[in-house]
Amino acid sequence: MVEENGLKDLIACHTRISSIIDDHLAYAGYDISELMDNQASFEETIYLLWNLRLPTASEYEKFTSELRANYEISDAVEQCILIQSRKHLHPMSVLRSTVSLLGVYNVHAEERSLEATYEQSIQLMAKIPTIIATFARLRNGQTPIAPRNDLGFAENFLYMLTGKEAQAIEIEALNKALILHADHELNASTFAARVCASTLSDIYSCVTTAIGTLKGPLHGGANERVFDMLQEIRACGDTEAYLQQKLASQEKIMGFGHRVYKKQDPRESYLRQMAKELTQKTEHEIWYQLSREIEDYMKHSKGLIPNVDFYSATVYHVLGIDSSIFTLIFAMSRVAGWIAHIQEQQGFNKLIRPRSHYLGPEKLSYIPLERRSYA
């Protein structure tokens, strides 16, 4: 029988990268709380996902140095982004095309050795933030800002985006958001990346496939629509009336419910706390207050829990990130997990080729064209 609910609960692969068990998310055996509560860096998390263990001090220094040495993009890639910076183009389409272009310019893109794959992985991980910041600034008529290799991953991105050195709380917030979005078991984009990897295609094609999948509003675009909702509620001035009208129209309230988690999304509480700390006693406090009102109403009226997208919308907005590129930030983080899964798939590869269950008619007879007619 065909699974009618999008392969729900079907085990499609074995992995050591991440797990979701009883509403607990873990990366390579480390519960997400271990990374959050011990102030792990996003760079440590990337290393953990790729190597299935945390780095030593010397390994960490070498790894971060390699990332920082690859932050810059070429003039040709920047020119490509400029051409695509028109307002009508979807930001995820621009990222998809530009990542594909990185593969065109890498002379070792078709090599499958461990050394070549690692080099490609580092370059992709390091350059995607620069691509996103460059696109965001060009789209707003601003001059791109070159990356600084004296800054860490999160701090460098905020610097390239805003032109200012970020405050410690802002760096902490983005670092945590990146860690929380870095991997999530076999979600749609990761599964798409693994299917592509199983054909032994190149890493650029695999990541491009994942970006195209994440672009879909049922996967990556939810936090953008959460902030649209917050703005609409602020404009109308009545949270309960707004939600009642949406629910009566059978519209989905973005940022609530989850395909896997039943009682709580373990990532949400950390983003809620960061949203509170970032907005406290600032002009942005209204966004946190509205979020709490929405959460309370949805919990009591529908029994629905907020997911990772809900409070990340406020966090990103306060960090100076326009809602139109929220999904790009998701991709910037999730590429760490995609690469881990691509490497794992290719290391123990079996072509992913499921079957379909045919439901149509059978044993039909061919009728010549001149006699064919449908009543």
Catalytic residue among 181, 183, 184, 258: 258
- Alpha-carbon Rg for the chain, nearest whole angstrom, is 22
Which of 351, 280, 333 has its CA nearest to residue 124? Answer: 333
The Cα 104–Cα 205 span in angstroms is: 10
Distances in Å between the Cα of 292 and the Cα atoms of 214, 244, 316 are 27, 16, 17
Question: What are the DSSP calls for 234-257, one per residue?
Answer: HHH--HHHHHHHHHHTT---TTB-
Catalytic residue among 202, 309, 317, 341: 309
The Cα 361–Cα 41 span in angstroms is: 56
The Cα 172–Cα 356 span in angstroms is: 46
Distances in Å between the Cα of 345 and the Cα atoms of 16, 152, 221, 297 are 11, 29, 26, 43
Among this protein's residues, is 309 annotated catalytic?
Answer: yes
Which of 252, 343, 222, 240 has its CA nearest to residue 300? Answer: 240
Which of 43, 312, 65 has its CA nearest to residue 153? Answer: 43
Among this protein's residues, is 258 annotated catalytic?
Answer: yes
First to last CA, the chain: 32
Which of 320, 123, 297 has its CA nearest to residue 310? Answer: 297
Helices (runs of H) and strands (runs of E) counted in the chain: 16, 3
Q: Which residues pair with 30 in a beta bridge?
A: 27
Catalytic residues: 258, 309
